């Protein structure tokens, strides 16, 4: 997947659900979502109002500025740290091949150093 800009949350709930249905459309238990990157993570938050995602990006940018006298020479230490704070893996309940999320929950790829091509690994847990 291509992320559209440097810092953005991309709602991937339907992609995860589709991957899950392809793996086993009758699975009940858990699904594991893993992002194999170090400047992008995965998180669950509200999907109804997109301003929730924008506020989260803004709050993290205020807490961890892009320029901060960091040692890592690639200029993305902020992105690495944000990734460790939101995390790179989720385990989510599944019932009969479908994600069992709360009413307002969506799964977001959390991009902190895009735009880039990103992978998300979805496996039965």
User: Which tokens in the block code for residue 52?
Assistant: 């929730």
Q: Is 97 in the site for a second copy (CB under 8 A)?
A: no
DSSP annotation of 43 reads: E
Q: Which of 8, 10, 20, 90 binds a second copy (CB under 8 A)?
A: 90
**Sheet of strand 8-11: strand arrangement:** 8-11, 105-111, 40-46
Give every CB contact of residue 18 below 8 A, 6+ residues apart in sequence: none
Q: Is 37 in the site for a second copy (CB under 8 A)?
A: yes
In whole angstroms, the minimum distance from the beta carbon of 25 to a second copy comes to 20
Centre a 10 Å sphere on the Cβ of residue 65 and count the other Cβ atoms it contains.
Answer: 11
Q: Is 70 in the site for a second copy (CB under 8 A)?
A: yes
User: Which tokens in the block code for residue 116?
Assistant: 């880039």
Q: Is 68 in the site for a second copy (CB under 8 A)?
A: yes
Q: Which residues bind a second copy (CB under 8 A)?
A: 29-30, 32, 34-38, 43-46, 49, 51-52, 54-56, 58-60, 63-64, 68, 70-74, 77-78, 80-81, 83-93, 100-105, 110, 119, 121, 123, 125
């Amino acid at each position: 997947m291509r992320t559209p800009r440097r810092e953005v949350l991309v709602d991937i709930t339907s992609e995860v659900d589709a991957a899950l249905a392809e793996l086993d459309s009758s699975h009940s238990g858990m699904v594991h979502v893993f992002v194999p990157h170090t400047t992008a993570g995965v998180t669950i938050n509200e999907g109804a109002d997109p301003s929730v995602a924008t506020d989260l990006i803004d709050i993290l940018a205020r807490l961890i500025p892009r320029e901060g006298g960091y040692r890592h020479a690639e200029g993305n230490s902020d992105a690495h740290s944000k990734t460790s704070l939101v995390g790179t893996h989720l385990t989510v309940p599944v019932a009969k091949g479908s994600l069992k999320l709360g009413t307002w929950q969506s799964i977001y790829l959390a991009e902190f150093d895009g735009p880039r091509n990103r992978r998300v690994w979805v496996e039965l847990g």
